[in-house]
């Protein structure tokens, strides 16, 4: 029997106002969040969308859930709507409308065929990254060969993701909670075009990439 794969698309929580979120803006005629839900479709048995309270449209998702006060809390609310039969859960940012079907397949393959319990897309870092103190003085130059820029979709064995969220901790991504369990997290190659849209400039860039076919 094929594995049950559910996706959670995180589009905002209770602290955020619908109108301020770039993921509800139109990207080439279609809301960013709708494109993010669509991106999950080919790989998913079902899609849970986590949104601010005032949202009325379902953007093509199967289940709608109201978000929490933090990103991690929003994911936990999404998790509670994922059926217990799910084998694998993907968590995807609503602000990443350009993730390709190939990227979803690559994350799933590492989970289902590769035996990993946690898989995230990562991009090599081409810029120099430094650590700074509170006064904006450099404290260290990091070895960029050891760094990756992390994207979504992030994929997990369902029980691992549920355990990671048991503690109700907060983090900038779900993998960090899984890392805290001591579970190995594997990185697969991300996509340069898999932009996170947070500013009007990002939106223009995404429009450009979409039309360019990049």
Using CB under 8 A as the criterion, which residues of the chain lie in contact with a copy of itself when the complex forms?
A: 120, 122, 125-133, 136-142, 144, 146-151, 171-173, 175-176, 179, 184-188, 192-193, 196, 198-199, 201, 204-205, 208, 212, 214
Least distance in Å: CB of 118 to a copy of itself? Answer: 8
Alpha-carbon distance 195 to 174, whole Å? 18
Alpha-carbon distance 2 to 147, whole Å? 34
Q: Which residues pair with 118 in a beta bridge?
A: 156
**Angle (CA) 92 157 162, round 5°:** 80
Least distance in Å: CB of 130 to a copy of itself? Answer: 6
Residue (55 or 157) nearer to a copy of itself, CB: 157
Alpha-carbon distance 187 to 170, whole Å? 21
Least distance in Å: CB of 145 to a copy of itself? Answer: 9
Residue count (the chain)? 214
Least distance in Å: CB of 47 to a copy of itself? Answer: 22
DSSP state of 99: -
Residue (20 or 128) nearer to a copy of itself, CB: 128
Q: Which sign, positive or negative, has the C-alpha torsion 55, 60, 66, 71?
A: negative
Residue (105 or 144) nearer to a copy of itself, CB: 144
Residue (56 or 131) nearer to a copy of itself, CB: 131
């Amino acid at each position: 029997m094929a594995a049950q794969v559910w996706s959670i698309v995180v589009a905002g929580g209770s602290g955020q106002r619908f109108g301020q979120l770039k993921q509800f803006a139109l990207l080439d005629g279609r809301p960013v969040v709708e494109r993010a839900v669509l991106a999950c479709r080919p790989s998913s048995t079902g899609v849970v969308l986590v949104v601010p309270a005032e949202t009325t449209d379902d953007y093509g998702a199967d289940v709608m859930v109201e978000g929490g006060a933090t990103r991690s809390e929003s994911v936990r609310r999404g998790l509670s709507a994922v059926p217990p039969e799910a084998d694998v859960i993907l968590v995807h940012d609503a602000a990443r409308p350009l993730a390709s079907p190939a990227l979803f397949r690559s994350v799933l393959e590492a989970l289902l065929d590769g035996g990993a319990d946690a898989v995230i897309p990562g991009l090599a870092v081409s810029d120099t990254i430094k650590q700074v103190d509170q006064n904006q003085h450099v404290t260290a130059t990091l070895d960029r060969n050891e760094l990756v820029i992390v994207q979504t979709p992030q994929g997990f064995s369902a029980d691992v993701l549920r355990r990671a969220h048991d503690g109700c901790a907060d983090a900038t991504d779900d993998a960090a909670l899984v890392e805290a369990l001591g579970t190995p997290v594997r990185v697969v190659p991300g996509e340069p075009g898999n932009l996170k849209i947070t500013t009007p400039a990002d939106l223009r860039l995404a429009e450009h990439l979409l039309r360019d076919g990049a």
